[in-house]
Amino acid sequence: MRTLLRFFIVVMIAVPCVVWADGYKESYGKAISKIENGKWDEAEQLIRAAIADNPSASTKKMRLYGNRTKPYLPYFHLGLTLFEQGDCQGAMQAWATAEQQGAIQSFSKEYKQFNQKRAECRQRMPTPTATRPPLPTKTPTPRPTPTPKIDFEKIRRLENKAKVEIANAEKAAAEVRQRHGDSSYEAVWLSMSDAPSRESEAANKLKQAQSSLRNGSSKKDESQLDQAFQLAEQARKSYELVVGAADSKHSELAASELEKQVMEAARNKLFAQIEERSTAAQGALNRASSLLPESRRSISAQEGELKAAVREAGRIRSSSLSVTQLEEILSTLDQGAKSFGRLVAQAIEADKRRPTPTAIPAIAATKVPVSPATPLPEVDLSEKLRSAAGAFLRSDYESVVGELEVIGDSKDREAAVAYLLRGAAGYYIYLENGKQDAEIEQQARNDVDSCRAADASLTPDAEIFSPAFVTFFSGL
């Protein structure tokens, strides 16, 4: 009888325990399933029901259904559901209780997740708040606070706003990359030492904006979506500043290069003009060399100045003179050549009125030297050719053309010399007239061709003929 009574008492005590245990297991198992499916609000209610039946965590895993086991950590999972619903303060309180119970430290996977989520929650909380005392472990929890309603329309507007700004930032980043691929911007990037750091900062902000957009969209978090917009806006402005600075520097460098090209073109034009005036000036100096001593002495000062100007003009190609300096040289040379040319012309007329000297150098009266490589032999020149040779040595080019107006069709050495003298005289007249008369130039070309046809071995002597005519002759 006593044994039967003892058995009855044990059964009466054990039966309620079994029922109690099955109740929290069922709620806990359903809560885990809801958590895995992301149904946080339903999971919260089931976790709270399990806590009401059994608030104590366990260091041993429990069988949920089938062969599946799971550690019983009710306050850890309660905190997880609150965290995912945006209630960081409630989550921190639940996790404080879980940590105080000490069971979670026995499960590495859950404990790692516990620390990660708690750290994230601390970052979300704007200011430190006093932690409420841990939830009681042996008494039922109070009724859950209603979850704030989500304004889905506002979430949608914030998402679109952030997406548009991120797209604008990505477009600005593409413009920076496009300029990096443009070879004309190489000098620009070399001169912008701060560009790499600004681009790196913008890229980081754009990446953070994209991450905040993903998180805010999945969690329906207004603050994260707003943060995504602000970060994207900052990234866009940074990229636009880089593009603006690069384009401005590019324009500056392009303008500088264009200015160099314009100045170089102006210099080359002045070089050509100075060479033309040098040739004309040399012609005047050549004519002066045939003046009578008395006439030449009267213009010796002007002759020295012109020679100095011609020498200076000959050195300009190897100098770095400015356009203004070259214009001054051209003006001096032009005025000097014209003024000296008039003096020589007056002196030539004066010499014509003077008695002819009895002694005339034989070379001036009898022969016209040619290239040292093919020296001209003694030739019995006609009286017309003698007169033309004398006029040429006096730089009286009009008289040379007049004397040799008719040469004939002869193909001998004498005819070749006549064509050479007439061609050179015509070319000098063409230069002195500022290269304005194309007909005179063409006649000079024809005379050079006739010279070669009469005697191909005859070439102008550089000691008598100017460098300009020697170049003209050899270029045909």
pLDDT of 366: 33
Give the list of residues 6+ apart from residue 221 with CB closer than 8 angstroms, or none. Answer: 86, 215
Tens of pLDDT, residue by residue over 350-364, are 877 776 543 333 333
pLDDT of 11: 40
**How does DSSP assign 392-440, residue by residue?**
HHTT-HHHHHHHTS---S--SHHHHHHHHHHHHHHHHHHHHTTS--HHH
* Host H or E run for residue 100: helix 88-101
Work out the burial of residue 259: count CB atoms within 10 Å of its CB; fewer than 13 is exposed, 13-18 middle, 19 or more buried: exposed
* Host H or E run for residue 63: strand 61-65
Work out the burial of residue 148: count CB atoms within 10 Å of its CB; fewer than 13 is exposed, 13-18 middle, 19 or more buried: exposed
- Of 4-13, 38-47, 169-178, 233-242, which range is least confident? 4-13
Q: How far is CA 134 from CA 53, 98, 143, 361, in A?
A: 18, 9, 16, 132
Tens of pLDDT, residue by residue over 76-129, are 999 999 999 989 999 999 999 999 998 888 898 889 989 998 999 988 876 554
Tokens of 30: 């359903």
Tens of pLDDT, residue by residue over 234-252, are 999 999 999 999 999 999 9
Q: Supply the mean pLDDT for the chain.
A: 82
For the entire predicted model, the pTM comes to 0.33
pLDDT of 471 higher than 70: yes
Tens of pLDDT, residue by residue over 145-159, are 656 678 888 899 999
What's the residue count for the chain?
476
Domain 263-353: which CATH number of 1.20.5, 3.30.200, 1.10.287, 1.10.3680: 1.20.5
Superfamily of segment(s) 2-124: Tetratricopeptide repeat domain (1.25.40.10)
R_g over Cα of the chain: 54
pLDDT of 133: 57
Work out the burial of residue 321: count CB atoms within 10 Å of its CB; fewer than 13 is exposed, 13-18 middle, 19 or more buried: middle
- The residue among 384 and 229 whose pLDDT is bigger is 229
Residue 74 — very low, low, confident or very high, per pLDDT cuts 50/70/90? very high
* All structural domains of the chain with their residue ranges: 2-124, 171-253, 263-353, 362-474
Q: What percent of the chain has pLDDT over 90?
A: 34
3-state class (DSSP) for residue 69: strand
For the segment 170-184, the average pLDDT, to the nearest whole number, is 94
For the segment 207-219, the average pLDDT, to the nearest whole number, is 92
* Host H or E run for residue 71: strand 68-71
